[in-house]
Amino acid sequence: MREITYRQALNEALDEELAHDENVCIIGEEVAQYNGAYKVTEGLWDKWGDKRVIDAPISEAGFIGMGIGASMLGVRPVMELMFFSFAYVAFDQMMNNAATVRYMSGGLINVPIVVRGPANGGTNVGATHSHTPENIFANMPGLKVVSPATPYDAKGLLKQSIRDNDPVYFMENTLLYGEKGPVPDNDELPGGELLIPLGKAEVKREGSDISLIAHGRAVISCLKTAEMLKEQHDIDAEVVDLRSIRPLDEETILESVRKTNRAVYVEENKPFCGIGAQIASTIQEKVFDYLDAPVLRISSVDSPAIYSPPLEKKQLPYPEMIVERVLTIC
């Protein structure tokens, strides 16, 4: 199977969906002639033209609001944010409008919009460009939140998100854009294309001693941690990738914990009211009798993103630190 980068996988997904449905368009800052701030949309403006790939001014409140309005009329816009931190500028539209229109219209009006872009720290761009707001958006009923860790998942989940009739906030990581992974050609797939259902987690590594549960780039850290645990301490860790934060695949998480009897949630989100709090609560409520140790949460240090490169590396969970914490409950 070929290997492509996370960036290429996203690009392929966008290209295929532009071809699949004439109502799909891409809107965002520098997505057209400039090929995207991170080159995710490279070549798409040349191929599809001004009507399908549209540059927006530096006004997130303006173009996100426009995209939501267009989606209510049948367009399927994919809105690129240069940083998901800038979503706060369009918070009213994204939370108060997009999330509630279908409910308040009695199901008569859908909002099939995707808002995508990087939601991560670790790139030394300061506190205002390094937010991880997946927990904030997942808190709102009516929204779907996706965070792929691999090129395979990035392509399959983005294609499915574009076809979804509800707003999907698709959170990527700039540190993953250049990472390679296996992604099959369409002619290798039974249905001729890669589609991954939203709300379906995946066990990325089978194990028997402890469940490492994560989303986004933290999944990659957990896979490295699992190898270190096996080599250094003969601990066999299972790694569960949420892939989709909301809807949440509870059963895959619970099934893993029933098998291993120990659970750690690892995230680059902040700890207070983070995704890990929801997962820990779910495990404690539903499979408490299977636990041989308390559920452990490992997250980013609870402070604004640190600008200093060596310090910011220590602010986010990294394999050596995860190993050290895991040993406290194994």
Catalytic annotation, residues? 60, 129
234: left (phi over 0), alpha (psi -120 to 50) or beta: left
C-alpha count within 13 angstroms, C-beta hemisphere, residue 167: 30
SS3 content of the chain, % helix, strand, coil (to 5): 40, 15, 40
> Which structure tokens are listed for 221?
């850290």
Cβ contact 17:162 at 8 Å: yes
**Residues whose CB falls within 8 Å of the CB of residue 151, separated by 6 or more in sequence, listed in order:** 3, 4, 5, 6, 8, 9, 179, 180, 181, 182, 183
Which sign, positive or negative, has the C-alpha torsion 141, 200, 206, 180?
negative
